[in-house]
Amino acid sequence: MIWPVVDEALGTANVSLEAVHAVAVCHGPGLIGSLLVGCGFAKAVSYARNIPLVGVNHLEGHIFSAFLEQEKSEFPFLSLIASGGHTSLYIVRNFGQYEELGRTRDDAAGEAYDKVSKLLGLGYPGGPLIDRMARDGNAEAFDFPRAYMHESFDFSFSGLKTAVKLTAEKNAGLLGNNGFLADIAASFQSAVVDVLARKVQWAIVKTGILNVALSGGVSANSGLRKKIKEMAGENGAKVFLPSLDLCTDNAAMIASAGYHRYVSGDIAKLDLNPKAYLPL
């Protein structure tokens, strides 16, 4: 299944495999089956073409996806990665220099979206569905909890998920009512977005860093994009947002991070092992 994708990518870019100087592959963190397939393929190409293999951390790819459409990365910057599998905040001082400020202690923000969407009967993936519904709802209809966890940059979305679940159960008869669903969606989204934006704001104040980069599927959320831009405006910070199709997982971000590793001479050996759990 991977060859047709590679063929299409090369064809669209109008580049032949002979013109490729190195092959970058994501070796973690992620779904082990997918990582195995990708690594196996990349190793085969590297070996057959006799070109260097470069291993890239999935999170590193996300971090730099915010600058794929910029001329260059604006160091130092704060990087919020919010996706189905991760919610983390980093200080990025340079390529390869990451300081984790905080991460989720339970569910990722995107995961909360998916689980809430499912329990409301809206479908999968939850992000775009809830984002759409939230536009027609009242964000103050339900006072869902916001886990600010003072003195910490860590996140927690499990309690919010449970609160939505209990509200849905209490009002089971209204689950077919679009107005009710829109109010829940808007109130839930506002809770998620408030926490994400507030933590980034704290980070701006604490570090004095005025460049903010967002990435991961949740950075495609219209509510979050709006709130982060407003917050940044009030704090004199500059926001870097990937365009919508570069927010979710993509190969361009792996290639871009791989390029930096290749240039710095960080070449992987053929025994590169995929890892489901791989901190940055």
Residue numbers at the binding site for other proteins (CB under 8 A): 29-33, 84-86, 103-108, 110-111, 115, 119, 154, 158, 161-162, 165-166, 275-277, 279
Q: How far is the CB of 26 from other proteins (least distance, A)?
A: 13
Taking the complex as a whole, the smallest distance from the CB of residue 87 to other proteins amounts, in Å, to: 9
Nearer to other proteins, 20 or 175 (CB): 175
Residue 167 Cβ vs other proteins, minimum distance, rounded to whole Å = 12
Least distance from C-beta 274 to other proteins, angstroms? 10
Distance CA 59, CA 74 (A): 18
CB nearer to other proteins: give 115 or 260: 115
Write out the DSSP string of the chain.
-HHHHHHHHHHHHT--GGG---EEEEEESS-HHHHHHHHHHHHHHHHHHT--EEEEEHHHHHHHHTTTTSSS--SSEEEEEESSS-EEEEEEEETTEEEEEEEBSS--HHHHHHHHHHHTT--SSHHHHHHHHHTTS-TTSS-------TT---B--HHHHHHHHHHHHHTGGGTT-HHHHHHHHHHHHHHHHHHHHHHHHHHHHHH---EEEEESGGGG-HHHHHHHHHHHHHHT-EEE---HHHHS--HHHHHHHHHHHHHTT-PBPTT----SS---
Residue with smaller CB distance to other proteins, 120 or 231: 120
Of how many residues is the chain composed? 280
Nearer to other proteins, 111 or 194 (CB): 111
Closer residue to other proteins, CB minimum distance, 46 or 104: 104
CB atoms within 10 A of CB 145: 14
Judged by beta carbon, residue 90 or residue 240, the one nearer other proteins is 90
CB of 104 to other proteins, least distance (A): 5
Q: Smallest distance from the beta carbon of 164 to other proteins, in angstroms?
A: 9
Shorter beta-carbon distance to other proteins: residue 65 or 211:
65
Question: For residues 47 and 124, which CB has a smaller minimum distance to other proteins in the complex?
Answer: 124
48 exposure class (CB count in 10 Å sphere: 0-12, 13-18, 19+): exposed
Q: Over the Cα atoms of the chain, what is R_g?
A: 20
Q: Least distance from C-beta 276 to other proteins, angstroms?
A: 5
Least distance (Å) between residue 30 CB and other proteins: 6
